[in-house]
């Protein structure tokens, strides 16, 4: 099994996602992904056996912030490789926490798999609000 993480430097992640999944994103979802890409300092893509399994980025509120907002898109191919993905995610989150003291984000209330994954990464959740749960992952020494 070949695992790779690559920085997305050329093109749009919406094109990358559409190519990998064989389906076009809805206009609303495509707009949201393009905004995430634009606001992120860096965007990364994860592959297992040359199949795209996810894209993610961090959005800091300012260049001086010690906190960044994590967003992620995953393809259906991720389901086949959940345990490999979890281990690699732990490595990537530790890398992110060298840049930021806190990583924050939101997770849909009913998405138990995502919440379990985030807990494995050290996330602490707030009470649900408006169908989502805010989470925070903190640097251990920060």
- Confidence band for 75, pLDDT divided at 50, 70 and 90: confident
What count of Cα atoms within 13 Å lies in the side-chain half-sphere of residue 127?
0
93-130 pLDDT, tens digit per residue, is 999 999 999 999 999 999 888 888 899 889 999 999 99
Residue 142 scores a pLDDT above 70: no
Say how many domains are in the chain.
1
* CA-based nearest residue to 45, from 36, 56, 34, 35: 56
Q: Which residues is 51 bridged to in the sheet?
A: 48
**Which residues, 6+ apart, have CB-to-CB distance to 15 below 8 Å?**
none
Q: What are the structure tokens assigned to 68, written together?
A: 């960044």
Q: What's the mean pLDDT in 39-56? A: 88
Q: Which domain holds residue 39?
A: 3-138
Q: What is the pLDDT of residue 129?
A: 95
CATH number at residue 98: 3.40.630.30
| pTM for the whole structure | 0.85
Query: d(Cα 81, Cα 53) in Å, to the nearest integer?
Result: 9
């Amino acid at each position: 099994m070949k695992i790779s993480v690559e920085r997305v430097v050329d093109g749009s992640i919406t094109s990358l996602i559409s190519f990998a999944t064989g389906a076009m994103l809805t206009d609303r979802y495509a707009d949201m992904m393009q905004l995430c890409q634009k606001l992120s300092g860096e965007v990364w893509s994860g592959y297992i056996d040359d199949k795209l399994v996810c894209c993610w980025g961090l959005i800091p509120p300012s260049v001086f912030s010690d906190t960044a907002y994590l967003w992620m898109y995953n393809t259906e191919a991720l389901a086949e490789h959940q345990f490999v993905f979890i281990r690699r995610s732990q490595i990537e989150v530790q890398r992110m926490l060298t840049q930021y003291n806190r990583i924050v984000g939101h997770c849909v209330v009913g998405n138990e798999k995502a919440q379990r994954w985030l807990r494995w990464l050290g996330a602490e959740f707030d009470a649900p609000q408006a169908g989502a749960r805010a989470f925070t992952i903190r640097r251990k020494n920060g």
